[in-house]
């Protein structure tokens, strides 16, 4: 009998290699390569029509290709639509990731329940029993009559059921519980997750069904079986929050049908998730009096501005290697900024532990957070509060220059709307004369100017 072919697959990232090695060549993790038997191509897949999308088979010129906007339909949840880039797309596949208990199942159950009346949906649960889903639906007060549910973990059975029920929106909760009968490996293993997801994606594309896949996040913050899934789907959404907070942030990290980095905000209460329509100031904690180490900035997540507080604590260190801890901003960027501050602000903090935190569990990925981060650090270091009615934003260059950021005026308008009277901003972002609503805008070109303006 011919020896069956095997490959070695990394359990972390799903990369495969023909030989065993101690370290995965792709992601660099150790001891993650596991031997797997190569399964023959599934007969179902071979029988399906060619071309990933319906109507895409064969060579065409681009002129023959229809470039009409994808047909979108709203979900009834505006914050979700916003993150999706304007609603669901036929045949679009959305991966929803997040920690256990964050509210992924709740969000999707509410979503299918609120779909416009002419849309059919199918909610497939592999984690909870139908009774549990039913109890949750009752608690959420959603209309149970229109909702089709299925408890199933075999991907072949799920696709068969979907072919029969023909939903326009299909939810699979979660992809890690689903397995393919064609593979021997255990459910949840990378090859199973990949095969099951590939099968579902193929079905969604060919039938024009909008598909939601729920994915769990591992402790390291990556979707289990991660990269394979992120490549296969059109949209990757992360559902996240700070522990203890009732606010939930829905963030698009990849979107073939819209802008990435778009942010939706929900609040979780006894009756499920509520949309937060105007979230720009929810992360502001107003202190009674100015405190050192706190700076308010206007970030722009996706298409709207958000006011957030950056907090820093600088303390004498007892260690030879002082600690640098950054939550909500990139730690490497913080190190770089501190070096700039040392060189161009002539502030020495060698012997100091530095902690930086963005309030509310918000993550700032844009460079506009450079200047407020540094000013928060400096404020704590010198124990000098920044005035409470002042916002700061701007990118800091390695030469100590303050560089402009996109949408400066919109940020200023948002800050003015919430009662801020002063702003320290990059020179090129400053309006001529007064800012919106008579706001005093201090334009700065160099880091030293910003320091002089605030302290
Ligand atoms: P769930 O949707 O099950 O999370 P996930 O699918 O991401 O694991 O959410 C469960 C949590 O949400 C649980 O801790 C209870 C809370 N919750 C509410 O606070 N209110 C509600 O109405 C519901 C349904 C859940
Ligand atoms: Mg769940």
* C-beta separation of 377 from 271 below 8 A: no
Task: Return the residue whose CA atom lies nearest to atom 25 of ligand 1.
Answer: 272
Distance (angstroms) between ligand 2 centre and the Cα of 354 equals 37
Mutate to test the pocket of ligand 1, among 97, 98, 101, 240 (most ligand atoms within 8 A of CB): 101
Centre of ligand 1 from the C-alpha of residue 268, in Å: 8
In CATH, the architecture of 72-276 is 3-Layer(aba) Sandwich (3.40)
| Domain 282-454 = CATH 3.40.50.300 | no
**pLDDT for the residue numbered 228:** 72
pLDDT tens for each residue of the chain, 455 residues long: 445 577 888 877 888 888 888 888 888 888 888 777 675 554 544 444 455 666 677 888 888 777 776 778 888 889 999 999 889 999 999 999 988 889 999 999 999 988 888 889 999 999 999 999 999 999 888 877 888 999 999 999 999 999 999 999 999 998 989 999 887 778 877 778 888 999 999 999 999 999 999 998 765 656 555 567 888 899 999 898 877 778 898 988 889 988 877 888 899 988 889 988 777 777 777 777 889 999 999 998 777 888 999 999 999 998 889 999 999 999 999 999 999 999 988 888 889 999 999 987 788 889 999 999 999 999 999 999 999 899 999 999 999 999 999 999 999 999 998 889 999 999 999 998 788 888 999 999 999 999 999 98
DSSP annotation of 125: E
Tokens at 414, concatenated: 């948002």
CA angle 83, 204, 147 (to 5 degrees): 75
Instruction: End-to-end CA distance of the chain: give it in Å, rounded.
Output: 80
User: CB within 6 Å of ligand 1 — which residues?
Assistant: 98, 100-106, 136, 139-140, 268, 270-272
DSSP string, 209-229: -EEEEEEEBPTTSSBSSHHHH
pLDDT of residue 93: 95
Q: Are 290 and 297 in contact (CB under 8 A)?
A: no
Ligand closest to 106 (CA) is 1
| pLDDT at position 47 | 47
């Amino acid at each position: 009998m011919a020896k069956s072919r095997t490959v070695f697959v990394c359990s972390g990232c799903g990369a495969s290699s023909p030989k065993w090695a101690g370290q995965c060549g792709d992601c660099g993790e150790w001891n993650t390569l596991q031997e797997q038997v190569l399964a023959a191509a599934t007969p179902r897949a071979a029988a399906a029509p060619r071309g990933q999308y319906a109507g895409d088979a064969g060579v065409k010129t681009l002129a023959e290709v229809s470039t009409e906007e994808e047909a979108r339909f709203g979900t009834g949840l505006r914050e979700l639509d916003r993150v999706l880039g304007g609603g669901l797309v036929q045949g679009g596949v959305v991966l929803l990731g997040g920690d256990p208990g964050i509210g992924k199942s709740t969000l999707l159950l509410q979503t299918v329940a609120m779909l416009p009346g002419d849309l059919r949906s199918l909610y497939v649960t592999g984690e909870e029993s139908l009774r549990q889903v039913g109890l949750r639906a009752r608690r959420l007060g959603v209309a149970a009559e229109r909702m089709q549910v299925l408890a199933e973990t075999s991907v072949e059975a799920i696709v068969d059921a979907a072919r029969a029920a023909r939903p326009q929106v299909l939810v699979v909760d979660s992809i890690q519980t689903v397995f393919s009968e064609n593979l021997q490996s255990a459910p949840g293993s990378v090859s199973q997750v990949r095969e099951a997801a590939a099968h579902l994606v193929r079905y969604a594309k060919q039938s024009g069904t909008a598909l939601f896949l729920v994915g769990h996040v591992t402790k390291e913050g990556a979707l289990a079986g991660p990269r394979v899934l992120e490549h296969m789907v059109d949209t990757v959404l992360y559902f996240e929050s700070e522990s203890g907070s009732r606010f939930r942030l829905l963030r698009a990290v990849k979107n073939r049908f819209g802008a990435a980095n778009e942010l939706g905000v929900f609040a979780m209460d006894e009756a499920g998730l509520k949309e937060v329509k105007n979230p720009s100031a929810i992360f502001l904690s107003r202190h009674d009096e100015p405190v050192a180490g706190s700076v308010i900035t206007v970030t722009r997540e996706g298409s709207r501005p958000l006011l957030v507080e950056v907090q820093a604590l600088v303390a004498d260190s007892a260690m030879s290697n002082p600690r640098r801890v950054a939550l909500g901003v990139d730690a490497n960027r913080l190190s770089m900024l501190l070096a700039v501050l040392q060189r161009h602000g002539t502030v020495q903090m060698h012997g100091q532990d530095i902690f930086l935190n963005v309030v509310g569990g918000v993550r700032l990925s844009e460079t506009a957070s450079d200047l407020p981060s540094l000013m928060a650090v400096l404020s704590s270091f010198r124990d000098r509060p920044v005035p409470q009615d002042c916002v700061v934003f701007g990118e800091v260059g390695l030469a100590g220059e303050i560089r402009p950021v996109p949408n400066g005026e919109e940020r200023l308008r948002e800050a003015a709307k919430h009662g801020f009277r002063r702003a320290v901003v990059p020179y090129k972002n400053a309006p001529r004369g007064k800012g919106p609503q008579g706001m005093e805008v201090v334009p700065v070109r160099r880091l030293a100017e910003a320091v002089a303006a605030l302290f």
